[in-house]
Amino acid sequence: MLAQILQQLPQQLLNGLVLGSTYALFALGFTLMFGVLGVINLTYGFYFSTGAFLALYATKGLGLPIGLALPGAAVLTGLIAVLFDAALLTPLRRKKAPELASLMVTLGATLLLYTLMTALFGTEIRRLPPAVISHAAITLGDVRMNMSQILIMVTTVLIVLALLSLIRFTRLGLAMRALAENGEAAQLMGVNTDAVVWLVSFISGALGSAAGVLIGLNFNAIQPYMGETMMLKGFAVIIIGGLGDIRGALVAGILIGVLEVLTAGFISSNLKDAVGFVLLVATLWFRPVGLFGRAPVKRA
Amino acid sequence: MSAALDNFFFSYQSLIFAVGINGLLALSIYTVLAVGQLSLGQAAFMGLGAYVSALLTLHLNWPFPAVLLAAMVVPALAALLIGGPTLKLTGVYLALATIALGEILRIVCNASDFTGGALGLSGIPSKTSFTLIFSLLALVLLGFVLVARSRLGRAMEAMREDEVAAGVMGVNLPAMKMGALVVSAMLAGLAGALNAHANSFIGPNDYSFDQAVTILSFALLGGIGSPFGPVLGAIILTLLPEFLTALHDFKLVVNGFIIVVAVLFMPRGLLVWRIGRIG
């Protein structure tokens, strides 16, 4: 029994790492939106689905290679995200509405968008053409992984590094940090806050979309509600990692992924999806600000 | 005349029950919104009440009043578990944690044989009546009207408008928030138990995220200036699909649309009238 577990463990850990990377990849744009704009934007899951559907259309309908379909979908979805932000959230920002108003408005919009998308595309599962990515796999000892899994892990690490350097070392990053700290003060210091809000919405939408393409590629199952399922994992990831923290999203995503795979492998696959939520509730009780979070300060 | 009335009740019984039960659900979300918080766990509290009540009736054959009581106590405990850590933080945490509660419940109900798994529980005896549902609704409404006219109601309104200011004025914010969440969980649990004993069947997917959002749309359409607003919203949104049959497939589109429009353009809802204070 123990020997068997030990023999399976490396492959299970690797599978967990890959699954965790998909969660982290998904949560990056989501946590960026919260970190800078201070809103839980529930339409984020819709960008994930949109990205996957756009890539499906580009590869199947237009016959484009994935190398073009992925950035194309990301840019288009980014623009959609800017539009939605302008229509739904900017009016509330102008009115200085309470933070829960923005959560509610995106909640309503999400319900509307998913239902419309389902009416348009139906709920059947669609697949990207098999020729899109090589199905070669590398084997190292007992461990085996395929191209799309490697692609997901590499992309996740690259995006995390890119985001962290953007925030830390560039002028835009400085403006983002200023906006996150205090919007009005940032504006008074000459930051074009509208432009920063648009850029952050664009980057987040594009990240969500890219995650949708890559994860759609890996699981090869695309349907309108894929974003909503992922969103529920996303909540767990960003709370456990700390709301708005990029490193937290990476660590929490991988933690959940690994624990889920281990639960499914050694306990019961039915309980796999409960792992993230149990961790979430435990986080709220014992370290509510999350792994990397700072205590929120309430100002009058 | 009486025969015609009987006939009418018979044909529309489930719809009439749904109006009353949705009215209770609307009041349950109202309780939380009234103190400026947002819970997306009302469907989960309702589901807890429904499952607890159905299991007690089916397996232990408890008397109905005791079943209803248990269906209120269990969600209240869940509310304490979720509210304990989150209510000290900003409102976002409660909203997200209550979503998590709903998911955990759905996963457990789907996975456990005890709750009938994905097939749910069927053959729940019909124990509700028109009189029971609507007198409970009237009773709860009356309770809310009395609260709205009291010191407690003014404290709730103050919290909703400006939490920090209310806190400075001596409103016990943590106790108020927790009280509101517990009461709302009890109301949702009660509605769940009534629903289970009106429909004879419950399944894990009846209490999904979509249901939580639908309950929210009741309150946002009607407005939360007074407890009558959410009930009005529930009545409209329960009856609307019956009159516009073409709407059935797009029911959730309408609910989503109403939330967007309500938050952006009519934050006070349809019923802007509020209950005055005494003296």
pLDDT tens sequence across A70-128: 888 889 999 999 998 888 888 888 877 777 788 888 888 888 888 888 888 877 888 87
Tokens for A244, please give them: 């708005």
Q: Is A112 on the interface with B (CB under 8 A)?
A: yes
Q: What is the reported pLDDT for A300?
A: 44
In chain A, which residues have their Cβ closer than 8 Å to the Cβ of B217? 108
Band of residue B29 on the pLDDT scale cut at 50, 70, 90: very high
Average confidence (pLDDT) over B208-217: 84
CB-based burial, B250-260: b 16+ in 10 Å, e otherwise: bbbbbbbbbbb
Average confidence (pLDDT) over B56-62: 84
In chain B, which residues have their Cβ closer than 8 Å to the Cβ of A115? 250, 252-253, 256
- Contact state of A100 with B260 under an 8 Å Cβ cutoff: no
Contact B56, B62 (CB under 8 A): yes
pLDDT at residue A63 greater than cutoff 60:
yes
- Contact state of B253 with A280 under an 8 Å Cβ cutoff: no
Q: Is A115 on the interface with B (CB under 8 A)?
A: yes
Which tops the pLDDT comparison, B124 or A32?
A32
Q: Is A282 on the interface with B (CB under 8 A)?
A: no
Report the residue of chain A nearest B107, measured CA to CA.
A274
Q: What is the reported pLDDT for A232?
A: 82
- Residue B221, C-beta contacts closer than 8 angstroms, at least 6 positions apart: B232, B233, B236, B237, B258, B262, B269, B270
Average confidence (pLDDT) over A29-41: 84
Band of residue B46 on the pLDDT scale cut at 50, 70, 90: very high
Report the residue of chain A nearest B92, measured CA to CA.
A100
Q: What is the reported pLDDT for B28?
A: 92
Q: Pick the closest to residue A17 from A259, A268, A269 (CA basis).
A: A259
Which tops the pLDDT comparison, B150 or A258?
A258
- Contact state of A99 with B252 under an 8 Å Cβ cutoff: no
Q: What is the reported pLDDT for B26?
A: 92
pLDDT tens track for A229-249 = 888 888 888 888 888 888 888
Band of residue B85 on the pLDDT scale cut at 50, 70, 90: confident
- Residue B7, phi then psi, degrees to nearest 5: -60, -45
Band of residue B210 on the pLDDT scale cut at 50, 70, 90: confident
Q: Give the E-state strand segments of A106-171 in sequence order.
A: 137-140, 143-146
Average per-residue pLDDT for chain A: 83
DSSP secondary structure of A43-79: THHHHHHHHHHHHHIIIIIS---HHHHHHHHHHHHHH
Q: Which of A98, A119, A273 sits opposite B249 (nearest CB)?
A: A119
Q: Which of A92, A109, A277 sits opposite B104 (nearest CB)?
A: A277
Report the residue of chain B nearest A238, measured CA to CA.
B96
Band of residue B139 on the pLDDT scale cut at 50, 70, 90: very high
Q: What is the reported pLDDT for B272?
A: 66
- Contact state of A298 with B90 under an 8 Å Cβ cutoff: yes
Q: Is A131 on the interface with B (CB under 8 A)?
A: no
Q: Pick the closest to residue B37 from B219, B186, B190 (CA basis).
A: B219
Which A residues in the span 159-218 are in contact with B, Cβ-Cβ below 8 Å? none
- Contact state of A232 with B103 under an 8 Å Cβ cutoff: yes
Which tops the pLDDT comparison, A35 or A300?
A35
CB atoms inside a 10 Å sphere around CB B270:
16
Q: What is the reported pLDDT for B185?
A: 93
Q: What is the reported pLDDT for A295?
A: 60
Best of A39, A99, A107 to mutate (most B CBs within 10 Å, chain B): A107
Q: What is the reported pLDDT for B1?
A: 54
CB pairs under 8 A between A and B: 136
Token pair 């259309």: residue: A57
Report the residue of chain A nearest B258, measured CA to CA.
A108
What are the distances in angstroms from CA B98 to CA B32, B83, B103? 12, 9, 9
Look up the ipTM and state it: 0.76
Best of B92, B101, B218, B249 to mutate (most A CBs within 10 Å, chain A): B92
- Contact state of A115 with B252 under an 8 Å Cβ cutoff: yes
In terms of Cβ atoms closer than 10 Å to its own Cβ (0-12, 13-18, 19+), residue A219 is middle
- Contact state of B99 with A232 under an 8 Å Cβ cutoff: yes
Q: Pick the closest to residue A159 from A290, A18, A27 (CA basis).
A: A27
Q: Nearest-5° angle of CA B113, CA B40, CA A237?
A: 80
Q: What is the reported pLDDT for B247?
A: 67
Q: What is the reported pLDDT for B276?
A: 58
In chain B, which residues have their Cβ closer than 8 Å to the Cβ of A101? 263, 267
Q: What is the reported pLDDT for B58?
A: 81
Q: What is the reported pLDDT for B278?
A: 46
User: Percent of chain B beyond pLDDT 90?
Assistant: 13
What are the distances in angstroms from CA B74 to CA A165, B54, B111, B190, B200? 48, 13, 20, 10, 21
pLDDT at residue A6 greater than cutoff 80:
no
Best of A90, A284, A298, A299 to mutate (most B CBs within 10 Å, chain B): A284
Tokens for A76, please give them: 């288009």
pLDDT at residue B183 greater than cutoff 90:
yes
Band of residue A3 on the pLDDT scale cut at 50, 70, 90: confident
- Contact state of A112 with B256 under an 8 Å Cβ cutoff: yes
- Residue B103, C-beta contacts closer than 8 angstroms, at least 6 positions apart: A232, A273, A277, B209
Band of residue B112 on the pLDDT scale cut at 50, 70, 90: confident
pLDDT tens track for B246-268 = 766 677 788 788 888 887 887 77
What are the distances in angstroms from CA B129 to CA B21, B24, B48? 11, 15, 21
pLDDT tens track for A141-194 = 777 778 778 888 888 888 888 888 888 888 888 888 888 777 778 888 877 888
Contact A100, B95 (CB under 8 A): yes
